[in-house]
Amino acid sequence: MLSPQNRMRQSAEFSRVMRAGRRSGRDGLSVVYLDSSRGSGCDDEPPRVGFIVSKAVGNAVVRNRVQRRLRHLMRERIPFLPAGSLLVVRAKPLAASHGHDTLAAQLDGAIAAAKRPKDRRARGSHKGRRAHE
């Protein structure tokens, strides 16, 4: 079980993360990460995680099972999140058919990608690409 101090429960927090956070996805889940510098600004608060498991994932039994699995996986990963950071984990329909190891690998990959700083050169303009043509 994930500690109550590490759970996001307020709609305003979810909205803030979804609006301003960095996104990363895999076929079974996606994450939105908001670090403490852009989040609440309080580095003394513990990191908090919220979960979104919609009806598209399955019936109530399936959704609850997926959410329990995700909570269990995040409990092991909370110590690696910076203090004051916020993370939303959103389950996709394929999450219900994935096993523990697959979900864990996808979660690790998505979190790592969302925490990675943006490479401003890779996006945006393509200056110089056709200069020699």
pLDDT in tens, 44-84: 889 999 999 999 999 999 999 999 999 999 999 999 999 99
Give CA–CA dist 80/77, Å, rounded. Answer: 6
- Report all structural domains of the chain as residue ranges with CATH numbers, in order of start: 4-114 (3.30.230.10)
Q: How confident is the model at residue 6 (pLDDT cuts 50, 70, 90)?
A: very high
In this structure, the chain runs to a length of: 133
What pTM does this model have? 0.82
Order of strands across the sheet with 86-91? 22-25, 29-34, 86-91, 48-53
Residue-wise pLDDT for 7-38, tens only, equals: 998 999 999 999 999 999 999 999 999 997 76
